């Protein structure tokens, strides 16, 4: 999370909400190399953070995840009573690889295949992450990156189509990883603006339903 810490601090200040972040297995400063990690372990780490926050008496926990973190954010809705979930450019993976070490998993290097290959249709529309969102009673906010070359549009669209409540937003002129673009700050500013606006909307929604 080191490369995102400044943005997280800005969003916390603007929204007036506390943020908790983590480097799950194989990412950032985590001691385990990504090749030895698996998705079940990473999900367990996210669940552990949720449980720690509950011990600290946080009642309404909003889970925000981008890319692979969006996939884990979708999964945790099936594990814990999350208040709201925000999925930014959320990835999607086959269930049979949940406990497979990363170095042995399939690497999706051709995202367009997932949009055109009928053999993958069942995998996209029926996997644990999508089923978790389908059963989730809270609101689901999905952000699609318009120029995403890693996560095909069918993935964020499928998450949202299976949600019971929420909203779908497009981040214009943005590739999957804004930091690789010529003016990354502009793209992150736009994303941060939407995330803070979503947090404000959640507060308003709670007032409407309380």
Per-residue pLDDT, averaged over 168-195, amounts to: 96
Which secondary-structure segment (H or E) carries 192?
helix 184-209
- pLDDT surpasses 80 at 127: yes
What is the separation of C-alpha 140 from the centre of its chain, rounded to a whole number of angstroms? 11
**Residues facing residue 62 across a β-bridge:** 84
Superfamily of domain 2-209: Alpha/Beta hydrolase fold, catalytic domain (3.40.50.1820)
More confident residue, 28 or 205: 205
- pLDDT surpasses 90 at 5: no
Q: Are 71 and 24 in contact (CB under 8 A)?
A: no
> Which of 92-101, 105-114, 190-199 bottoms out in mean pLDDT, i.e. has the lowest?
105-114
Which pLDDT score is estimated for 114?
Answer: 53
Backbone angles phi, psi at 21, to 5 degrees: -125, 160
Q: Are 104 and 51 in contact (CB under 8 A)?
A: no
């Amino acid at each position: 999370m080191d490369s995102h810490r400044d943005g997280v601090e800005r969003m916390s200040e603007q929204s007036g909400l506390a943020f908790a972040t983590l480097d799950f297995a194989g990412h950032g400063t985590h001691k385990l190399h990504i090749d030895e990690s698996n998705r079940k372990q990473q999900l367990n780490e996210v669940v552990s953070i949720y449980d720690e926050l509950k011990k600290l008496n946080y009642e309404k926990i909003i889970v925000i995840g981008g890319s692979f973190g969006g996939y884990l954010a979708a999964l945790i809705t099936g594990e814990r009573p999350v208040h709201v979930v925000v999925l930014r450019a959320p990835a999607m993976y086959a269930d049979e690889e949940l406990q497979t070490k990363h170095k042995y998993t399939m690497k999706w290097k051709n995202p367009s295949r997932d949009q055109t290959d009928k053999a993958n249709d069942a995998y996209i529309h029926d996997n644990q992450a999508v089923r978790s969102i389908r059963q989730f009673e809270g609101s689901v906010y999905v952000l699609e990156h318009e120029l995403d070359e890693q996560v095909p549009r069918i993935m964020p669209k499928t998450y949202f189509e299976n949600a019971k409540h929420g909203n779908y937003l497009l981040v214009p002129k943005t590739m999957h990883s804004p930091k690789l673009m010529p003016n990354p700050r502009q793209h992150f500013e736009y994303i941060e603006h939407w995330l803070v606006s979503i947090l404000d909307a959640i507060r308003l929604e709670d007032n409407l339903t309380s």
